[in-house]
Structure formats: C-alpha cells, structure tokens
Amino acid sequence: MNNNSISKGIIIHARHGNKPHKFTYKHTMLFIELNTIVGYNRIAKLLKYNSSGILSIRDKDHIDSNHQSLYEKVITKMKGSGTNILSTDKIMMLTTPSFMGYAFNPATFFFVCNQDLKIKSAIVEVHNTFGEAHLYILTESSFSYYNNNYIANKKFHVSPFLDRKGHYEFHFHISQSTINISIILNDDKNKLITTTYLGNLIPLSTKALINSLPNILVAVLLTELRILYQAFKLFFSIKAPFFEKPPPIENTTVSPARGFISRIKLPFHK
C-alpha cells in the first residue's frame, strides 16, 4: 500500500513589519511516495512519470540535472549530509506536477519518514523567478527539539522585496489525512514573513485526479501570474523596500524548471 495522495489546501502568506501585506490562495498539490514510482512511467491515469502527458512528474525538473531518479537524488543528498535512510523509510514528495511540459514550483518538499509518517529529515527545494534554485537540507543537526522545528539560515534570494538576511523556522506535520507546513522568516529582532500551507489529503485515484484536475491546473498555471500580481502590489501600491538581486552564494544552482518570469524584464525584477 502506498501513500500517494492529492493535497487540497490553502496557502497563507503574510508580510509583517511597517509594510504589512497578506494574501490567501487555494492550492492543490500532489503528495507522492517516491519509493513506489521508481521503474514505472505512470503514477495514475492522466499522471505520468518521466514521460509525456497532460500531467507529469519528471526527475529532471527537481534537485539537479543528473540522471538519477528523484528517489535516488534524495538519498544522495541525505547521505551527503550524514543522514542514514533505512530500507523501511518512505520518501515523500509534495509538489505540483508539470502540465503539458510546463513546470514551475516556488517550493517542493521532500520528506524522509518512518512507516508511521513521522518525519526524520527533509529537503526544501526553492526556486526563485531569476532562474535559480536552492536546497535547504534539514536534518537532525538543524532540528530544535525545544521548538519542534528545523532552523536554517537564509542563503537564497527569493523576493526583490527582502534582502538575503535572517533565518527560517520550518515546521512540518503529516498525518494520514492532513499535511501542515509553516515557514517563518526572522531577522535578529523581528518576524518578517510567515507562510503556511494547510492541506487535506485525498487518496490518489483516477476519479479523484479527474475531479481535482481544474484545481491542479489553477495551481500550476496561475502560480507565476499570482507572483507577478503580488509583486506589482508591493512595488506600486504598498511601496515596499526594493533589493536588487545579489550574486548567488554556495549551493545556488541553475533552476531545472525556471518558468517564464525569469525570461522577461520588469521594473521590480533585477
């Protein structure tokens, strides 16, 4: 039995401080057990794996451009960070699929879980709109037992309305029916950004996929347009401080699925 699911949820993004801003969007994602799809070219009807289709999940769109499977890529990255993955562990992926070959995910999450879906470690793959990607590898060494979250310094330029300072707090909770993610960006004194994803998990079947197809297409096709819309509001209406993109630092790579914003010139995108 696998845990492949459709996650129907909402994203809540809040900017704090003297230029506050908040928005909420419905957002449907896929929650896939990578152990179960290796060697197959289809996860469900309408959902392909490494082959052409209406919806697909492709190894080449995530982590790096080598020819390993996603399952192997996660194991390689985790071993490089000193994390041991047991044969009984599950590697779960939370993402939106590509649609007719187009893909852009601001964030994809990979979780190493035990059989009860208790998280042992995680990788957060972040893509910006400048054609870059970065991996936050979260292991036991970055886990705060006191606060029950992972902590990582910010090392990647995501928004032109924030500089590259501060640290993240990542909080994850997975059950058989829900997935909850909270990411808080702090500087030395204040909370800057809070992003929350709350998802309800539905077993992935052909019927469920067909019923969820409109929601999935909205998530895939409108994400970059929503990013542009919110950037226009921050730049022209809210007049949030603007920060030009700094040179990339360690572990920043060319995005394997860069979207369309990185190919256009905008007054708030440089």
What are the pLDDT digits (tens) for 51-92?
Answer: 988 999 999 999 988 889 999 999 999 988 878 889 899 999
What are the pLDDT digits (tens) for 99-145?
Answer: 999 999 999 999 999 988 899 999 999 999 999 999 999 998 999 88
Residue 268 lies in a domain: no
Q: Does residue 1 register a pLDDT over 60?
A: no
Specify the residue for token string 């990578």. Answer: 34
What are the pLDDT digits (tens) for 138-150?
Answer: 998 999 888 899 9
CB contact set of 72 (below 8 Å; sequence gap of 6+):
none
Residue 270 lies in a domain: no
In which domain, by residue range, is 254 found? 5-263
Residue 184 lies in a domain: yes
The whole-angstrom separation of Cα 54 and Cα 198 is 26
Where does the pLDDT of residue 12 fall: very low under 50, low under 70, confident under 90, or very high at 90 and above? very high
The whole-angstrom separation of Cα 134 and Cα 128 is 9
What are the pLDDT digits (tens) for 218-233?
Answer: 999 999 999 999 999 9
Residue 269 lies in a domain: no
Number of domains in the chain: 1
Residue 151 lies in a domain: yes
pLDDT at 2: 66
Torsion of CA 198, 195, 104, 41, to 10 degrees: -30
**What's the per-residue H, E or C state across the chain?**
CCCCEEEEEEEEEEECCCCCEEEEEEEEEEEEEHHHCCCCCEEECCEEECCCCCEEECHHHCCCCCCCCHHHHHHHHHHHCCCCCCCCCEEEEEECCEECCECCCCEEEEEEECCCCCEEEEEEEEECCCCEEEEEEECHHHEECCCCEEEEECCCCCCCCCCCCCEEEEEEEECCCEEEEEEEEECCCCEEEEEEEEEEEEECCHHHHHHHHHHHHHHHHHHHHHHHHHHHHHHHHCCCCCCCCCCCCCCEEECCCCCCHHHCCECCEC
For residue 231, how many C-alpha atoms fall within 13 Å in the half-sphere facing its CB?
21
pLDDT at 66: 85
